[in-house]
Amino acid sequence: MPVVLTIAGSDSGGGAGIQADLKTFEAIGVFGASAITCVTAQNPDAVTGVTALPPDAVHAQIAAVCAGFPVAAAKTGMLFSKEIIRAVAESLDKYPVRALVADPVMVATSGARLLRDDAVFALRDMLMPRATVVTPNLQEAEVLAGRALTTPEDVRSAAARLAADIGTAFVIKGGHVDSGPDVVDILADRDGNLIEFRTARVKAAETHGTGCTFSAALAAYLALGSSLPDAVGKAQSFVARALARALPEGHHAPLAWNKAAS
């Protein structure tokens, strides 16, 4: 069973972050390990507190996992500060992994900021060039591109430009793009080639955790040996099934990770 490492924040509500990543890994059939960057107090409605761990504690977790397991792939989520980003980048230089999925988590679904303003450039300069693929949503892609993306053509051109400028593949997720009845995710490889992935848009009560789940699924499928395009398509389908099969839990409807593998 391949080992996949998630480097991300803890979501006390269980719907995103480390908790969503580990549930995704379990559903797909890889062994999940974790390095926690921040502890958040949150549920799908709001983030009420963020406590960042010291960068050396983040490094120590990554070192311990990589010393004990043959890590086939890793993903990053909430990194919060440039100091933590630097620690993660240096750790991945010391303990390289075959595939790295960088999810540039900036803002929670509830609107809370999960990345400091001064950390955006650190994320772009220190971490993204080390990644196999970067997975921004529309708002994150706009920050990285430095302009509004209002049409599907804007998204395609931004994906190609970001891939060329940073030197790695980009998937801009289409959940927030007005593309009609389908969600369209755009993959741009390092050479600027574009591939579209379409799935029917799911009417969902909540989308909390979909970005984390997508990047975790992508890392898991890469660890299992899928090519990047195949892994993107499988990750998109996994998220769609998890949304479609969600069931009420209390006041919320979290993703059905355990029902989304097939």
Main-chain phi, psi angles of 112, to 5 degrees? -70, 140
Establish whether 135 is a catalytic residue.
no
* Choice among 76, 173, 213, 234 that is catalytic: 173
Q: Are strands 71-76 and 99-102 parallel, antiparallel or unpaired?
A: parallel
Q: Looking at 15, 17, 175, 209, which residue is catalytic?
A: 209
Q: 205, 128, 223, 112: which is closest to 171 by C-alpha?
A: 128
Query: CB–CB of 216/239 below 8 Å?
Result: no
Q: Which of 174, 210, 213, 233 is catalytic?
A: 210
Q: 49, 33, 43: which is closest to 12 by C-alpha?
A: 43
Catalytic residue among 207, 213, 233, 234: 207
Active site residue 175: no
Instruction: For residues 106 and 123, give the distance between their C-alpha atoms in angstroms, rounded to a whole number.
Output: 10
**Given 109, 212, 213, 233, the catalytic residue:** 212
Q: Which residues pair with 9 in a beta bridge?
A: none
Active-site hit among 211, 213, 233, 234? 211
Q: Is 38 a catalytic residue?
A: no
Annotated catalytic, 173? Answer: yes
What is the distance in angstroms between the CA of the first residue and the CA of the last residue of the chain? Answer: 18
Active-site annotation, residues: 173, 207, 209-212
